[in-house]
Amino acid sequence: MSEKLDLDLWHQRYTQQAKWSQEIRQYLLGKISLGEGNKILEVGSGTGAVLSLLSEETRAQCFGVDIDIASLAFSAKLGYPLAFAAGDAYSLPFPDDSFNLTYCHYLLLWIKNPLAVIAEMVRVTRPGGLVIALAEPDYQARIDHPKKLAQLGKIQTQSLHEQGADTAMGRKLLGLFHDAGLQNITSGILGAQWESTDTGEIDENEWLMIQADTAGRLSPEALAAYRRAESEARREEKRVLFIPTFYAAGIVS
Q: How far apart are CA 55 and CA 74, in angstroms?
A: 17
Say how far apart CA 228 and CA 200 lie, in whole Å.
Answer: 9
Structural domain contains residue 32 = yes
Residue 124 lies in a domain: yes
Q: Does 2 score more than 50 pLDDT? A: no
Residue 143 falls inside a structural domain: yes
Instruction: Verify cis geometry, omega within 30 degrees of 0, for the bond prior to 146.
Output: yes
Instruction: State how many domains the chain has.
Output: 1
Residue 197 corresponds to which amino acid? T
Number of Cβ within a 10 Å radius of residue 22: 15
Domain that holds residue 75: 7-251
Q: Is residue 109 in a domain? A: yes
CATH of the domain at 244: 3.40.50.150
Q: Is the pLDDT at 184 greater than 70, yes or no? A: yes
**Residue 2 falls within a domain, yes or no?**
no
Whole-angstrom distance between the N-terminal and C-terminal Cα of the chain? Answer: 34
> Of 132, 90, 99, 167, which is closest to residue 250 (Cα–Cα)?
132
Q: What percent of the chain has pLDDT over 70?
A: 95
Return d(Cα 33, Cα 170) in angstroms, integer.
27
Radius of gyration of the chain (CA): 19
Is the pLDDT at 253 greater than 80, yes or no?
yes
Following CA atoms 151, 156, 162, 167 in sequence, which dihedral angle do they give, to the nearest 10 degrees?
Answer: -100
State the pLDDT confidence band at 116, using cuts at 50, 70 and 90: very high
Cα angle, residue 21 at apex, residues 19 and 23 outer, rounded to 5°: 95
The Cα-based distances of 75 to 3, 20, 131, 228 in angstroms read 18, 20, 23, 36
Residue 125 has pLDDT above 50, yes or no: yes
Q: How far is CA 69 from the centre of its chain?
A: 19
CA distance 131 to 129: 7
Q: Enter the pTM of the model.
A: 0.91
Q: Are 115 and 176 in contact (CB under 8 A)?
A: yes
Is the per-residue pLDDT at 200 higher than 80? no
Give the integer Cα–Cα distance in Å for 182 and 244.
Answer: 23
> CA angle 228-233-238, nearest 5°?
170
3-class DSSP state for residue 179?
helix
Which stretches of the chain are assigned E, i.e. beta strand? 39-43, 61-66, 83-86, 99-104, 125-137, 143-145, 183-189, 240-242, 245-251
* Any domain includes 1: no
- The pLDDT-based confidence of 60 (bands split at 50, 70, 90) is confident
Q: Is 68 domain-assigned?
A: yes
The rounded Cα 198 to chain-centroid distance in angstroms is 29
